[in-house]
Structure 1
């Protein structure tokens, strides 16, 4: 049973990782990097950030540090430097780093049981002791949160929406259907505001 749980968790982790990276597909350098909201959130920055997150959780937490330096995580680094790619960092650099982080994380997951103990050094001491199972769930939830960000950013860039390649998981198929749906929601919002 535990092997089945671990297999399922690994499946969802792999799916989440792939879903995040494919949001870059077909876009030029500017579109994958440009800040789309006031907080600066951008597609390539999300991938860089998630690579950093996974390196820590599947590395340092279990005494298996990721072997490559991540200067954007140094104490003296610019704040939020993990949230965007500098002009000198290419798409290939960031995605390649993320693939290496994934392989490192997968090796940790393969080597340890779900109840293997770890310690998250950046969490409060009273909650820092964890298991691999807890961290798998935490990381999947975190990646999925960022996949949601990526979904909205990608839709704002070129209208592309959906869950993953070949399976959009959307209720409507045409722009006209979405426009009509959007208009219904807008009418409902205005009616509710007028009543309030």
Structure 2
């Protein structure tokens, strides 16, 4: 049952995204959870590290509720995008632990404050830096879901594992041959459209 209380609904979708992101790490080696899968370096454990940072910021600091969690990658002098990848000295357990503590802190903020509570975002422009808790939670849900989608693709490219959730893959059943044929049909349609130059046309 999906909850009907506004806060419970927000928490449901936020937790679903969190769980999906962590699930994508399961069963992979230390290398595979860290390796850059795209030219811009997207990697699974880095996505978790980033998601933890976002929650501690938007659902903690913004509302005058700092967590006390030290984030070296956000300190003065840290390199750009240091929250998007994981050093060899930062263990899987450490990063996942920071994320779980970020959940707890964010959930406590949601429980403690009314959804119309206004916070200030220090990294936004002056005069445009106010945000309600409702807005902040939705922003975090959107960001986490976006990165869970990134994780879906990275995981599939890593070992072929797919699925929306552990208990709901969300894909049609098919063996390797079925999926190969399905992909070939898509490739054929793409090549045919390219040959015709019909990308701008509608039916």
TM bin, normalised by shorter chain, reads over 0.9
Q: Indicate whether 1:164 and 2:165 are aligned.
A: yes
- TM norm structure 1: 0.96
Return the offset for 1:179.
1.2
4+ residue stretches of structure 1 with deviation over 6 A? Answer: none
Uncovered stretches (5+) of structure 1, i.e. residues with no partner: none
Indicate if the aligned counterparts of 1:44 and 1:94 stay in contact, CA closer than 8 A: yes
The structure where helix makes up a greater share of residues is 1
> Matched residues in 1 for 2:60 and 2:131: separation?
13
- Deviation digits for residues 16-66 of structure 1, max 9, x if unmatched? 101101100000101000001100110000000110111100111100012
Matches within 5 A, 1:90-129: 90-129=91-130
Q: Could you say which residue in structure 2 is the equivalent of 1:153?
A: 154
Query: Which residues of 2 match residues 19-30 of structure 1 at below 5 A?
Result: 19-30=20-31
CA contact (8 A) 1:172 1:178 kept: no
Question: What RMSD in Å do the two structures reach over aligned CA positions?
Answer: 1.1
Query: Taking structure 1 as reference, are residues 109 and 184 closer, same or farther at Cα in structure 2, changes over 3 Å only?
Result: same
Cα displacement string for residues 155-194 of structure 1 (whole angstroms, at most 9, x for unaligned residues): 0001001101021001233222221111111001100111
Does residue 11 in structure 1 map to residue 16 in structure 2?
Answer: no
Given the two structures, how large is their TM-score scaled by the length of structure 2? Answer: 0.92
Residues 67-93 of structure 1, C-alpha deviations (whole Å, 9 max, x = no match) = 111110112002211111100011000
